[in-house]
Amino acid sequence: MQVVKTNHRVLGAEHPNTLTSIANLSSAFWSQGQWKEAEELEVQVIETFKRVLGEEHPKTLSSMGNLASTFWNQERWEEAEELGMHVLEARKWVLREEHPDTLFSMDNLASTCTNQGRWLETIELGMQVVDMREGVLGGEHPDTLTSMANVASTFWYLGLWKEAEHLEVHVMETLKRLLGDEHPKTLNSMYSLAYTWKS
């Protein structure tokens, strides 16, 4: 709080360092589950970025994504989805569909759909992310494997065991080859596959 006040006094309300310190304070509130305080600061940062940099600037969109996450953590699904969709569409237009930030937004939107029980949309978005990450990053990139594991878990919730197993085997075998049998990520993937077989 002291850093925010000092930056505000010395540099002004719209200086990048002031906005960064406000965003950092918001993250601290967010980490402690103080959603109201985090939300107030996030809205302040967004409004300032909109005025100074424009609505489609990457920093503005990133701040909007943070606010959508705050809504998500409060189970305010409709608000999270509306803002998340806005960020996704703007990032597609500004950064292109294959940009990591755009794909991150797609992942977030898929999570919002999951929490509303909209499984088919979750799978559709998740598979789009997997396909694009494979094309841009390759099939063995950690982000690609994480996206595959996310889609596999959606298949699991729907009782689509074969589809879940197919992705989980691929993730596990790739992690074994890249990280070894005893790496925590490999072990997690083994556990997921074992749980699918048990189910």
* pLDDT at position 181: 94
List, for residues 41-89, the tens digit of each pLDDT value. Answer: 899 989 998 998 899 999 999 999 999 999 999 999 999 999 999 999 9
Structural fold of domain 122-199: 1.25.40
Predicted confidence band of residue 3 (pLDDT cuts 50, 70, 90) = low
- Upper half-sphere CA count for residue 75 (Cβ side, 13 Å): 3
Predicted confidence band of residue 18 (pLDDT cuts 50, 70, 90) = confident
Average model confidence (pLDDT) for the chain?
90
List, for residues 113-146, the tens digit of each pLDDT value. Answer: 988 889 999 999 999 999 999 999 999 999 999 9
Predicted confidence band of residue 31 (pLDDT cuts 50, 70, 90) = confident
Q: Look at residue 188 and tell me whether its pLDDT is greater than 80.
A: yes
Q: What percent of the chain has pLDDT over 70?
A: 96
Q: Look at residue 7 and tell me whether its pLDDT is greater than 70.
A: no
Q: Look at residue 26 and tell me whether its pLDDT is greater than 90.
A: no
Q: Look at residue 198 and tell me whether its pLDDT is greater than 60.
A: yes
> What b-and-e string marks burial along 92-130, b requiring 16 or more CB atoms within 10 Å of the CB?
eeebeeebebbbbbbbbbbbbbbeeebeeebbebbeebb
User: Which two tokens mark 185?
Assistant: 């990520």
Structural fold of domain 1-116: 1.25.40
Which is nearest to 29 in space by CA: 73, 61, 65, 64?
Answer: 73
Least confidently predicted of 16-20, 112-116, 167-171: 16-20
Q: Look at residue 11 and tell me whether its pLDDT is greater than 90.
A: no
Quote the CA–CA distance of 65 and 124 in Å, as a whole number: 21
Domain locations in the chain? 1-116, 122-199
Q: Write the DSSP string, 120-157.
A: HHHHHHHHHHHHHHHHHH-TTSHHHHHHHHHHHHHHHH
Please tell me if the domain spanning 1-116 has the same topology as the one spanning 122-199. yes
Quote the CA–CA distance of 197 and 168 in Å, as a whole number: 11
pTM: 0.80
* pLDDT at position 23: 84
Quote the CA–CA distance of 70 and 107 in Å, as a whole number: 16
Q: What percent of the chain has pLDDT over 90?
A: 70
Q: Look at residue 178 and tell me whether its pLDDT is greater than 60.
A: yes
Q: Give the count of beta carbons closer than 10 Å to the beta carbon of residue 81.
A: 20
Are 130 and 148 in contact, with CB atoms under 8 Å apart? yes
